[in-house]
């Protein structure tokens, strides 16, 4: 897969960073985007350390909620690397646990802006570029919250259901153009986004998963890398559960 180019939004931490490491270890050039320059630059050092075959790593400052900036991000990646073969729409927020009647409208709007519109902007300009090149692969970050109701999580759950809908529908639209679009649906994973929940009740979270523990970023990154690779060449519009058995219940 050498000389290929991947973009990972929100790729300076958690699942995105784990995915970036696995891709550069296969010799794939990777651009990670995010809002914090210091965190991004630190992540580049970590990711570069495991690169093979001269794979390059770039951090590009970007906020996925800004459509013009997302268009510019894809243009910058193509300008620097010459192409875009793979994209992981990973940036996401989970900012409130509340029932709908007690939830904060602005927090919900923030989640829609990032998890839904940010992912939509990404896909929009990634697909346009991949059409020009004649193909590519996109993986979106859904969740077990994209496939089920979850108490006290209705606002976030609705954004991840939207990710599933965008993934499946656009997969149908672009499969014949050589663009494969899929998603992963992780269970609870040890990253910053649920750090408070892990601190408050890790054993309770673990017990929700038949395997009896929460997952690691690497376990999700493995699935993302497979969906991006030619090994998944006949996989289209799939939502891959990586959840310790949560969805099998
Ligand atoms: N950790 C879990 O339990 C879990 C489960 C299911 C799905 N997910 C999804 O996985 C994805 C990655 O999350 P993670 O678990 O690695 O947590 P994380 O918090 O480490 O990663 C999310 C990244 O997105 C970035 N981000 C947020 N808003 C952004 C914006 N507007 N512009 C650019 N970047 C932005 C954050 O700065 C962060 O780097 C998210 O979409 C999340 O919803 C996580």
- What is the reported pLDDT for 248? 97
Please tell me the distance from the alpha carbon of residue 2 to that of residue 180, in angstroms, as a whole number. Answer: 19
User: What does pLDDT average to over the chain?
Assistant: 98
- On the question of pLDDT at 246 being above 80, the answer is yes
Please provide the distance, in angstroms rounded to a whole number, between the alpha carbons at the two ends of the chain: 37
Full residue range of the structural domain in which residue 203 is found: 5-248
Residue among 94, 121, 125, 156 flagged as catalytic: 156
Name the token pair of 172: 């149908």
When pLDDT is cut at 50, 70 and 90, the band that residue 2 belongs to is low
Q: What angle do CA 228, 213, 211 make, to 5 degrees?
A: 80
Mention every residue, 6+ apart, whose C-beta is less than 8 A from residue 117.
Answer: 65, 67
Q: Kindly provide the b/e burial profile for residues 182-200, where b requires at least 16 CB atoms within 10 angstroms of the residue's own CB.
A: bbbbbbbbbbebbeeebee
8 A C-beta contact, residue 139 and residue 228: yes
Predicted local distance difference test score (pLDDT) of residue 56: 98
Helix, strand, coil tally for the chain in percent (to 5)? 55, 15, 30
Q: Hey, whose CA ends up nearest to atom 43 of ligand 1?
A: 92
- CATH code, domain carrying 175: 3.40.50.720
Alpha-carbon distance of 227 to 160, in angstroms, equals: 19
Q: Pocket of ligand 1, candidates 92, 145, 192: which has the most ligand atoms within 8 Å of its Cβ, to mutate?
A: 92
* Residue 156 near residue 145 (C-beta atoms within 8 A): yes
- Rounded distance from Cα 50 to ligand 1 centre (Å): 22
Judge contact between 118 and 70, C-beta under 8 A: yes
Ligand 1 pocket: which of 15, 41, 123, 244 to mutate (most atoms <8 Å of CB)?
15
Question: pLDDT of 187-200, one tens digit each?
Answer: 999 999 999 999 99
6 CA from centroid of ligand 1 (Å): 17
Q: Is the pLDDT of residue 1 over 50?
A: no
* Closest ligand 1 atom, residue 65 Cα: 31
> Whose CA is closest to atom 1 on ligand 1?
189
Supply the residue whose CA is at minimum distance from atom 19 of ligand 1: 193
Q: Which run of H or of E encompasses 164?
A: helix 154-174
Cα distances (Å, whole numbers) of residue 184 to 59, 113, 191: 23, 20, 16
Among 191, 216, 223, 242, the mutation site with the greatest number of ligand 1 atoms within 8 A of its Cβ is: 191
Task: Name the β-bridge partners of 33.
Answer: 9, 60
Average pLDDT on 198-212 reads 97
The structure tokens listed for 70 are 């997302």
Number of domains forming the structure of the chain: 1
Place of tokens 């939502």: 239
User: Ligand 1 centroid vs 193 CA: distance in angstroms?
Assistant: 6
- Per-residue pLDDT reduced to its tens digit, 63-103: 999 999 999 999 999 999 999 999 999 999 999 999 999 99
**Sheet order of strands, 136-141 included:** 57-61, 29-34, 5-9, 86-89, 136-141, 179-186, 239-242
Which residues does a 6 A CB cutoff place in the pocket of ligand 1? 9-10, 12-16, 34-35, 63-65, 90-94, 114, 118, 141, 143, 186, 188-189, 191-194
Q: Has 156 been annotated as catalytic?
A: yes
- Interval 119-139: pLDDT, tens: 999 999 999 999 999 999 999
């Amino acid at each position: 897969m050498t000389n290929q180019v991947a973009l990972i939004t929100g790729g300076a931490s958690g699942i995105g960073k784990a995915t970036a490491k696995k891709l550069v270890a296969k010799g794939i050039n990777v651009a990670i985007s995010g809002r914090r320059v210091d965190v991004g630059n630190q992540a580049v050092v970590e990711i570069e350390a495991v690169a093979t075959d001269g794979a390059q790593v770039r951090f590009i400052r970007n906020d996925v909620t800004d459509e013009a900036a997302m268009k510019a991000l894809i243009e910058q990646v193509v300008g620097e690397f010459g192409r875009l073969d793979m994209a992981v729409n990973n940036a996401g927020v989970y900012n409130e646990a509340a029932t709908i009647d007690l939830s904060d409208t602005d927090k919900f709007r923030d989640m829609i802006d990032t998890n839904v519109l940010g992912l939509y902007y990404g896909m929009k300009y990634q697909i346009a570029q991949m059409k020009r090149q004649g193909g590519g692969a996109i993986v979106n970050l859904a969740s077990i919250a994209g496939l089920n109701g979850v108490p006290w999580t209705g606002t976030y759950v609705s954004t991840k259901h939207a990710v599933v809908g965008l993934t499946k529908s656009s997969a149908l639209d672009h499969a014949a153009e050589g663009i494969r679009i899929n998603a992963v649906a992780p269970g609870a994973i040890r990253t910053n986004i649920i750090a408070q929940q892990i601190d408050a009740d890790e054993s309770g979270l673990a017990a929700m998963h038949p395997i009896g523990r929460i997952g690691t970023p690497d376990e999700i990154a493995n699935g993302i890398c497979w969906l991006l690779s030619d090994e998944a060449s006949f996989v289209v519009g799939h939502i891959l559960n990586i959840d310790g058995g949560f969805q099998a219940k």
